[in-house]
Amino acid sequence: MSYIVQKFGGTSVATLDLIKKAALRIKAEVEAGHSVVAVVSAMAGTTNTLVNYVRDLSTTYDRAEYDAVVSTGEQITAGLLALALQSLGIPARSWQGWQLPIQTSSHHSHAHIQEIQTHRLTEAAKKGLVSVVAGFQGVNADGRITTLGRGGSDTTAVALAAALQAERCDIFTDVDGIYTADPRYVSAAGKLNQIAYQDMLELASQGAKVLQRDSVELAMKHGVRLRVLSSLSETPGTLVTGEHELQTTRRQVSGLAHSLNHVKLTLCALPASVSLNNMTAPLRENHIALDMMHETLSLQGECRDVSFIVSAADAERTIAVLRDSKDKLHFQDVLTDSDIAKISVIGPCFQTDHSPHRKLFQTLKEKGIAVQAVASSDIKLSVLIAASEMKRAVSHLHTVYQLDAEEC
Amino acid sequence: MSYIVQKFGGTSVATLDLIKKAALRIKAEVEAGHSVVAVVSAMAGTTNTLVNYVRDLSTTYDRAEYDAVVSTGEQITAGLLALALQSLGIPARSWQGWQLPIQTSSHHSHAHIQEIQTHRLTEAAKKGLVSVVAGFQGVNADGRITTLGRGGSDTTAVALAAALQAERCDIFTDVDGIYTADPRYVSAAGKLNQIAYQDMLELASQGAKVLQRDSVELAMKHGVRLRVLSSLSETPGTLVTGEHELQTTRRQVSGLAHSLNHVKLTLCALPASVSLNNMTAPLRENHIALDMMHETLSLQGECRDVSFIVSAADAERTIAVLRDSKDKLHFQDVLTDSDIAKISVIGPCFQTDHSPHRKLFQTLKEKGIAVQAVASSDIKLSVLIAASEMKRAVSHLHTVYQLDAEEC
C-alpha cells in the first residue's frame, strides 16, 4: 500500500470551514489511490487558551497536568476532521497518541518519540479507513499523556511517515513553501521548488519558521520526502528531499535566514585566567544554548569582554545563572543588547568555495553595515549585525547571491 | 482508609476562580483526614461548544467521534483542578477514564459503566494523592473513548463511590439541596435535610433536575450515601440515603415535582377495533416513551380519542411515526397541545393511605383547576393540568400537604 501522511497545522484547521477544506485535500489523495494518514494540530488559538488556563493557576505548574490539559486541542481537531471526512463519504476515524500508541519519553511538555506502533493504522488502511492522528501528543511508559513541545505535530507527522515508509509527508501550513529569504523582508524572495535536507536544516536552525529543526532532522535521518505547502492555495509548494532527488544542481547559496529573536550578552572584564570553557560551564549545566561567541581583548591583556547570543526566551534565566556564578567567574558586569539580528547564508560548499565569504563581507562593508561577530561551518555563514540594518542587509545579499529569480 | 468522593458539576467549575474554590473544598476534607477522589464535569459552556462543532459538521454524526471530541471538556477540568490542588500544597493528579480504566459498553454517547478498576486510585491514595477523575467518560473494549450521556458525571461519581466503598458521595451543584418543590414556582418550598432513595428516585423521574434518575438508582442499589450541596454556600445540603438512616420518619408526602417539558398528543377518532397495544407498537419500536395515556369515548362508541404525553424533544419524531402508521391505525388526525404541565406528588405510602389522593383532587377542584389525566403508583400520584395553572396548583398543594415548613 502506498501511504501519504498529510499534516495540517493550526492555521489550516482554525475553523470548521478550514477543517472541511482539509478533508477535501485528503479526499483527493484517497481518490488518487493512496492510503492517507492525517496528522492534526489544535485549532489555532486553542492551545494558547489552554496554556493560559494552566499558567493562571500555577506559575510552577506540573508539566504532566499541563500535558493532560493542552493535548485536548489536538484530540478535538482529530475527531472533527474524521467527522468532516465521513461527511464527504470517506470512511475515517481519529486516534489519540495513547491509542496507537505513540510511545514517548517521560519528559513532559518536551517528550521525545521512542516508538510508534503502526499496526492499528495499517489495519485501518486495509479496511479503507483514513486515520486522523492527534499530533503533538503521546503516552509515556506510565500511561500518562505527554506532549512533544514546539512543532510537535510536524514531528508526529514525520515520525509516522518514517514508520509507515510513506511515499511523502505533506506539511500544510499558512505559507506556500520555503523561500530564498523571508518574503516579509525581501520583496525579491522566491519560492524554492525543492531544497536539500541539509540546507533546510540550516535554514530551520537559523530562524526560518516554517519547519522545526527537529522534524527536518528526523526526515533526513529516515529519508522522508517532505512537501511544504499552503492549505489555502493550489500551488505545489516546496519539496524537501535528499540530494540524489534534486532536479537541479544545488546552487552556491540556497537561501538566507535571519532572526531577531536573540539577545546579545556581554561579560565585561572577565579575567584571562577564566577559560571560555569554565565560563560556559554553568550555562551548559542549565541547558542554555549559546551561539556566536566572540572576545574583545582589553588593552591590558589581563582581562577581556566576552559576548555571545542566547534566544530571547532564555535571556533572563541566563543573566540569573551568570550572576549566581560571579564569585567563580570574577567578571565585572553583564551587559544586555537586544538590538541585534543574526543573518545566515546557507549553501552546499562553503568549505571549498570561499567566494560567498568574500561577497558577504564586501557587501556589508560597501553598504556601511557593521559586523559584530561571525561564525561559519561547511554549509553556513552567519553574521551578527544591528537589528535596524537587517532588512537592508538581507535584501542586498539576496541580490548579490543571485537569488532574485522568479522561482528557483 | 475512609474515602469521600466529591463531584463538581459544570457550574461549580465554570471559571478558574471556581476551580480554586472547589480545590479548597477538597483541601478541607483532606485536612479532616479523608482520602478524596474528585470527579469533574466540563467547565460550563464547554460541552455545548464542542457539541455544536460536531453538529455543524454532520447532522448524522458518528457517535464514536462525538465522544472523542466531547470528552475533552472533562479532561481539561480534571487537569486544571489537579493543578489548583497542587497550588494549595495538596498533592494531586488527574485521571482520564481510559487510564483507570472505567470500562463501559460500546453505546457511544450513552454508554453504561461495566467495571471500574480502582487499584490505581487506592495506590494514589496510599501515597497521599488526591485523584481527580474526568467524569462522563470511559473506554470500551476496543479502546475507544465513550461518554455516558446526560448527567454522566454524577454516574461516574456514584459508581466510583460504590467501587471504593466511600463513606459519602458529595454532589456539588448550583442549588443548595433538594427542595419540597421547585423554589422558582413555590416560594414556601423548603430544603430537605434528608430524603429516602425511593422518594428521590421519583422526584428525579418526575422532573426534579438536580440529580439524574440513573445516578440515584445506582446509589440506591449500592447504598451510596449522596449529599447534594451548593459549591457556592456553606449550607449542609440534602442527604439522600436509605430509610434506616433517616432521622425522622418519612412524611405522608415528601415533595412535589413538576414538568413543563412535555407535549400532549391526541389521536382523534381511533377505531375501537385498534387496541391500545397496537396503537403504541410503532412508538415502542422507535424507543419513544409515552406516559399519562387516557381515552375519551365518543358518543357513537365505534371510535374514541386517545391522548398521551411524550417529552417535548420526542414530539416531532412521534408525530412522524404516527403519520407513517396511519394506514394501519386508521385514526383521523393527530392534535398537539404543548400547553400542559405534569405535577407529581411523591410519598412513601400511597398504596395504603388514600388521603393524599383525596386532598389532591379536592384541592384542584376547589381552585377550579381542571385535571386532564391521572396516573398513580405506590409512591407517586401524577396529574396533567394546563401549563398556566401549574404554579398555582403546586403552591396550593404544597400548603395542603403541610410542606410549607422552614426546613424539613
pLDDT in tens, B252-306: 788 898 888 899 999 998 998 888 899 999 999 888 889 999 888 766 667 889 9
**In whole numbers, what is the pLDDT of chain A averaged over residues?**
91
Tell me if B288 sits within 8 A of B314, measured CB to CB. yes
Give the closest residue to A202 by CA, choosing from A395, A376, A405: A376
ipTM of predicted assembly, 2 dp: 0.81
d(CA A242, CA A219): 10
Asked whether residue B378 carries a pLDDT value surpassing 90, the answer given is: no
Which pLDDT score is estimated for B356?
87
Question: How close A75 comes to chain B (CA, Å)?
Answer: 7
Q: Give the whole-number percent of chain A exceeding pLDDT 70.
A: 96
Q: Does A94 touch chain B (CB under 8 A)?
A: yes
Which among A58, A68, A143 has the least Cβ separation from residue B86? A58
Confidence of residue A159 (pLDDT cuts 50, 70, 90): very high
* Cα B310 to the center of its chain, rounded Å: 17
List pLDDT tens digits, range B9-44.
Answer: 999 999 999 999 999 999 999 999 999 999 999 999
Which pLDDT score is estimated for A166?
97
Confidence of residue A340 (pLDDT cuts 50, 70, 90): very high
The B residues from 59 to 88 touching A (CB cutoff 8 Å) are 61-62, 64-66, 68-69, 72, 75-76, 78-80, 82-84, 86-87
Phi and psi at residue B240, to the nearest 5°? -105, 120
Are the folds of B262-337 and B340-400 the same?
yes
Domain range annotation of chain A: 3-174
Domain formed by B340-400, architecture: 2-Layer Sandwich (3.30)
Pairing type for strands B194-196 and B137-139 reads unpaired
Which cell numbers in the block locate residue A51? 496554556
Which has more pLDDT, A313 or B368? B368
Which pLDDT score is estimated for B405?
67
Which pLDDT score is estimated for A407?
47
- Cell numbers 453504561: residue: B112
d(CA A8, CA A23): 10
Kind plus residue range of the DSSP H or E element containing A269: strand A262-271
SS3 state of residue A372: coil
Phi and psi at residue A241, to the nearest 5°? -155, -175
Confidence of residue B125 (pLDDT cuts 50, 70, 90): very high
SS3 state of residue B402: coil
* Structural class in CATH, domain B262-337: alpha beta
Which cell numbers in the block locate residue A56? 493562571
Phi and psi at residue B244, to the nearest 5°? -60, -25
Which pLDDT score is estimated for B206?
66
Which cell numbers in the block locate residue A71? 493535548
* Alpha-helical regions (H) of B3-127: 16-31, 46-57, 63-70, 72-87, 119-126
Which pLDDT score is estimated for B208?
65
Which cell numbers in the block locate residue A322? 551568570
Asked whether residue A251 carries a pLDDT value surpassing 80, the answer given is: no
Q: Does B143 touch chain A (CB under 8 A)?
A: yes
Asked whether residue B53 carries a pLDDT value surpassing 70, the answer given is: yes
d(CA B160, CA B133): 9
Q: Of the given ranges (A178-182, A208-212, A271-275, A390-394), which has the lowest mean pLDDT?
A: A208-212
Asked whether residue B407 carries a pLDDT value surpassing 60, the answer given is: no
User: Looking at chain B, which residue has its C-alpha nearest residue A70?
Assistant: B76
Name every residue whose Cβ is closer than 8 Å to that of residue A375 and which is 6 or more positions away in sequence.
A291, A292, A381, A382
Which pLDDT score is estimated for A112?
94
List pLDDT tens digits, range A171-210.
Answer: 999 888 998 888 888 888 888 999 999 889 888 766 667 8
CATH number of A3-174: 3.40.1160.10
Which pLDDT score is estimated for A249?
65
Asked whether residue A334 carries a pLDDT value surpassing 70, the answer given is: yes
Which pLDDT score is estimated for B303?
84
Which pLDDT score is estimated for A298?
67
Phi and psi at residue B334, to the nearest 5°? -115, 125
**A138, A403, B306, B401 from B365: Cα distances, Å:** 67, 94, 24, 16
Which cell numbers in the block locate residue B360? 389532591
**Amino acid letter at A140?**
N
d(CA B42, CA B50): 11
Instruction: Check A56 against B16: CB less than 8 A apart.
Output: yes
Asked whether residue A83 carries a pLDDT value surpassing 50, the answer given is: yes
Tell me if B87 sits within 8 A of B27, measured CB to CB. no
Contacts of A46-55 with CB under 8 Å at 24 or more apart are: A46/A10, A46/A73, A46/A76, A47/A10, A47/A73, A50/B76, A53/B16, A53/B76, A53/B80, A54/B79, A54/B80, A54/B83
User: Looking at chain A, which residue has its C-alpha nearest residue B139?
Assistant: A99
Which pLDDT score is estimated for A299?
63
Q: Does A320 touch chain B (CB under 8 A)?
A: no
- Cell numbers 492534526: residue: A40
Which cell numbers in the block locate residue B368? 377550579
Asked whether residue B109 carries a pLDDT value surpassing 50, the answer given is: yes
Which pLDDT score is estimated for A300?
65
pLDDT, average across residues A15-41: 97
pLDDT, average across residues B194-210: 81
Give the mutation candidate from A57, A119, A120, A133 for the B interface (greatest B CB count, under 10 A).
A57
Options 3.40.1160.10, 1.10.565.10, 1.10.260.40, 3.40.630.30; which CATH number does B3-249 get? 3.40.1160.10
Which pLDDT score is estimated for A206?
66
Give the closest residue to A400 by CA, choosing from A180, A199, A202, A184: A180
Tell me if A66 sits within 8 A of A108, measured CB to CB. yes
Question: How close A153 comes to chain B (CA, Å)?
Answer: 18
SS3 state of residue B373: strand
Which cell numbers in the block locate residue A340? 541585534
Q: What is the 3-state secondary structure (H, E, C) of A102-168?
A: EEECCCCCCCCEEEECCHHHHHHHHCCCEEEEECCEEECCCCCEEECCCCHHHHHHHHHHHHHCCCE
**In whole numbers, what is the pLDDT of chain B averaged over residues?**
91
Asked whether residue B348 carries a pLDDT value surpassing 90, the answer given is: no
Q: Does A306 touch chain B (CB under 8 A)?
A: no
Beta partners for residue A233, in sequence order: none
**A279, A323, B320 from A327: Cα distances, Å:** 12, 8, 85
Kind plus residue range of the DSSP H or E element containing A230: strand A226-230
pLDDT, average across residues B379-404: 91
Give the closest residue to A195 by CA, choosing from A183, A181, A185, A184: A181
d(CA A408, CA B184): 72
Which among B61, B69, B75 has the least Cβ separation from residue A68? B75
Quick one: DSSP state of residue A43?
A: P
Q: Give the number of beta-carbon pairs within 8 Å between A and B.
A: 105
Which has more pLDDT, A207 or A284? A284
d(CA A230, CA A22): 11
**Amino acid letter at B294?**
H
Instruction: Check A65 against B86: CB less than 8 A apart.
Output: yes
Q: Does A209 touch chain B (CB under 8 A)?
A: no
SS3 state of residue B292: strand
Quick one: DSSP state of residue B47?
A: H
Tell me if B336 sits within 8 A of B265, measured CB to CB. yes
Confidence of residue A17 (pLDDT cuts 50, 70, 90): very high
Q: Helices B152-164 and B213-222 meet at what angle, rounded to 10?
A: 10
Confidence of residue A22 (pLDDT cuts 50, 70, 90): very high
Q: Does A98 touch chain B (CB under 8 A)?
A: yes
Give the closest residue to B306 by CA, choosing from B332, B342, B343, B339: B332
Which has more pLDDT, B246 or A44? A44
